[in-house]
Structure 1
Amino acid sequence: MYRKILITTDGSAVSSKTACAGVAFAEQMKAEVLVLFVAPEYQYPIYVEIIPPSYPSEDEYRAAMLRAGQEHTQDVVDSCAKRGVPCEAVTAFAESAALKIVDVAEKHRCDLIFMGSHGRSGWGQLLLGSVTNKVLSHAKTPVLVHRLIKEPGSK
């Protein structure tokens, strides 16, 4: 049914749990995985006229974010390898994580976007589910939202 599944991660415990569920789902579907970490674009400090010497250059920032992306996606890559699921990891830069997720899914011809929801309601849903909600409202690709009933590490 699904041949290529995009799994998003931000490195948090919640997204790691979601990614594990996504890999298990991909294994059941006999699909390959594209795991994505979206880093914010470099921001020049707008509050000063001269960039402070301690402020990272754009190249330094991009290198640090690429390393972070590799670290955050490595667990998914390793999990896929253990399960025999083909996997590719991508780090992308964007102002809007949601729009980048939609764009990457389309460019890589993914059949499904697999992402998490914190299972919150009210203001918590509004604040913490905004990326998921934006993806749902902009994606042409089907989106499977994996809902965690409780936070990792809670009883």
Structure 2
Amino acid sequence: MFNNILFPTDGSDLSDKAAATVIELARKHGGKIVAISVLQPYPFVPMGDSGVAVPDVGTYETRMMDITNDNVNKVAAAASAAGIACDTVTSMAASPYEAIVEAAEKHGCDAIVMASHGRKGLNKLFLGSETQKVLAHTKLPVLVLR
């Protein structure tokens, strides 16, 4: 049933806890995991007359890509220790949900399992919910863990 599970991770404690559940689900179904972490590009900051100093975009993206790789490698190491196959994917996208849905299709996944921070009120309005966007844009079953 769940032979190829896409697991988006942001490296948070919540994602780390969810990884254990994903690994167990893959083990029970004899499946494998595709772990994905998505880097959002450096936000554009316009340069005005005030001379706003902007950090080096290349340095930002290099450092964030290192973190993104660490996120998926941590999942792969835990899966390997449990005897579960795990592919890793890193991506850069302004809208992480789009990269997640695209990766699920590209890798032939039959389910997406992801953690949700469960933001409410204004935090949800301003920060958005990648989980809700994934739910709205995929036809695959999505298991949401908190």
Same fold (TM over 0.5): yes
Q: How many residues align?
A: 144
**TM-score with structure 1 length normalisation?**
0.80
| Higher deviation after alignment, 88-97 or 43-52 | 43-52
Residue number in structure 2 paired with 1:37: 37
Residue number in structure 2 paired with 1:88: 87
* Contact 1:37 1:91 (8 Å CA) reproduced: yes
Unaligned regions of 5+ residues in structure 1, if any? 149-155
Give 1:123 deviation, angstroms.
1.6
Task: Please show how residues 1-155 of structure 1 align to structure 2 within 5 Å.
Answer: 1-48=1-48, 52=53, 55-58=55-58, 60-119=59-118, 122-123=120-121, 126-127=124-125, 130-146=129-145, 148=146
Q: Hey, what's the Cα distance between the residues in 2 that align with 1:34 and 1:19?
A: 11
* Contact 1:98 1:135 (8 Å CA) reproduced: yes
Q: Hey, what's the Cα distance between the residues in 2 that align with 1:119 and 1:69?
A: 22
Give 1:51 deviation, angstroms.
8.4
* Contact 1:35 1:73 (8 Å CA) reproduced: yes
CA RMSD of aligned residues (A): 2.4
Structure 1 pair 132–57 and aligned structure 2 pair: CA distance change class (3 A): closer
Unaligned regions of 5+ residues in structure 2, if any? none
Give 1:129 deviation, angstroms.
6.8
Q: Identical aligned pairs, as a percentage?
A: 35
| Paired letter, 1:26 | A
* Contact 1:7 1:33 (8 Å CA) reproduced: yes
SS in structure 2 of the partner of residue 72 of structure 1: helix
